[in-house]
Amino acid sequence: MLRPPLEIFVAHRDKSASFKRIKKAITAAQLSGYRINPLYINDETLKQKNNVPRFVFDTLNKSGAAIVLLTPDHRMAKESQKSLPSQSVTFEYGFLSAVFGDKRDDLIRVLGPKQVLPPRYRPDIKPIQVPTDAAAKEWVENFLHTLGVPRESDVIFDLNYKMGINDGDLGSHRFTENSLALFFGEELASLRKASEKLLYIFERAFTDVYFEDKSFWPEQVEKLKVLSDTSLLEAPISAIEAILHYTSGPWQLKRSFGDPILDEDKASLEQAFYKLKTASINMSEHPFNPILTMIVQNYLGLYELRAPLASADPVQAYKHFAAAKVIADKHERQGVNLWRGFIDFNFARCIIQARPHLAANQILPLREVLRTAVGHRETWTKTDVSLPHFLSDILFTEYLSAYKLLAENHENPLYADKFKVEKENWAASPQGRRFARANEYLPKKNS
């Protein structure tokens, strides 16, 4: 999943020539496609900060790498015929050395002339000469290469994008729903490009089904619409709005409580479905990142299959899920098979519903698709990737719902037996205290 750019802190004496040179080189690297975000503490960034110590701590603490400029501070007396760096730079360097620990020499580059005395806590450090104006950009890019920061084009148009979940993409195990939403909001705020924000929302908007606060993701989309400065993003923004209407529109709340879906709800759904279809057609005119196309196809299928639409067509749903499955199988790497788990399960449900309307050569073996869906969803339950406990619980119920459907559609009683064992084992596990939520969730799962 897309994450915010690497935060690089630059420790420097305010207004020094070396700082201006490195700052210019970092900006040039950003314009060349490196996803980095420079952090500075100086008179400019400290303006109007009510709590300076907190700002300094937060800035240093979120840094992922650093460039330290040990340039002379001429306000301080020399020691042993050598100049001293500023006290603030010395503090920042020491703080980051402690934070980075054993990785400090890999994550920090120290620049400065030989006549500057290194800090007492690092007497062995040998600063590198500050590169010239002509060489500064190349030096910064070489440092980024050692950090593993790739040079990228705009990710929203990356046709070779590899889908996958890494540790931290969905927060940590201690997060509640509220703190996960706050985490998403902070990461979105740190992204510079509207296109990156849009991809971030597309990859994580599946959580909308599980959030009790149904306003969070629509609010992020509204913020994005204000920032977007290109007509190229109009179609995918329109698509994500229609998707969120499916996942969290008023009709879903009524369905969950067993209330009747009114004509006005159905009319609103028809409008959202038409909006999504139009967006899909417009998106096909540009080479968008395949994850956008895959998610749009998946939700077109869900509209056709699950929403109470007069125009719903399970055969069209089958085609949409088939298209989404091709993309997921090609681009989602091994690990937590998030999208293949969703799409294969939706595909299986579609086969059950659309089977009377499909030709024999169109129907994939239902049991095979269900076994595949169960296998993908099992990766959600057996992963080292840190997930919030509440999300892990819900994903486990998604796994059980797939297993339940497999057991109901397979003549081999072993699947029904294993489903029963899986459910009972989890109920008896340390997560059993949260099992009531899952037990209630299983029968009403509808998206």
Q: Are 181 and 216 in contact (CB under 8 A)?
A: yes
User: Which pair of structure tokens corresponds to residue 89?
Assistant: 């730079």
Residue 159's pLDDT is 87
438, pLDDT greater than 60: no
Question: Last residue of a domain, which of 121, 152, 183?
Answer: 152
Residues 133, 185 share a domain: no
CATH number at residue 80: 3.40.50.10140
- Range(s) of the domain holding residue 56: 6-152
Q: Which of 349, 383, 379 shows the shortest CA–CA distance to 366? A: 349
- 127 and 192, same domain (yes or no): no
194 belongs to a structural domain = yes
Please check whether residue 151 is in contact with residue 34, taking contact to mean a CB–CB distance below 8 angstroms.
yes
| 68 and 200 within one domain | no
Same domain, 26 and 163: no
End residue of a domain, out of 152, 174, 198: 152
Q: Do the domain assignments include residue 1?
A: no
Predicted local confidence at residue 435, as pLDDT: 53
Over 60: is that where the pLDDT of 161 sits? Answer: yes
Strand order across the beta sheet in which 6-11 lies: 36-39, 6-11, 65-69, 108-111
Domain match, 178 and 117 both: no
pLDDT tens track for 3-22: 889 999 999 987 788 899 99
Encode pLDDT of 37-86 as tens digits. Answer: 999 998 888 888 889 999 999 999 999 999 999 887 767 767 766 777 78
**Domain co-membership, 147 together with 165:** no
Predicted confidence at residue 361, as pLDDT, reads 67
Coil, helix or strand for 243? helix
- Identify the pLDDT of residue 326: 95
22, 164: one domain: no
Which one of 152, 178, 208 terminates a domain?
152
* Residues 367 and 416 occupy one common structural domain: yes
Q: Are strands 65-69 and 108-111 parallel, antiparallel or unpaired?
A: parallel
Q: Are residues 114 and 189 in the same domain?
A: no
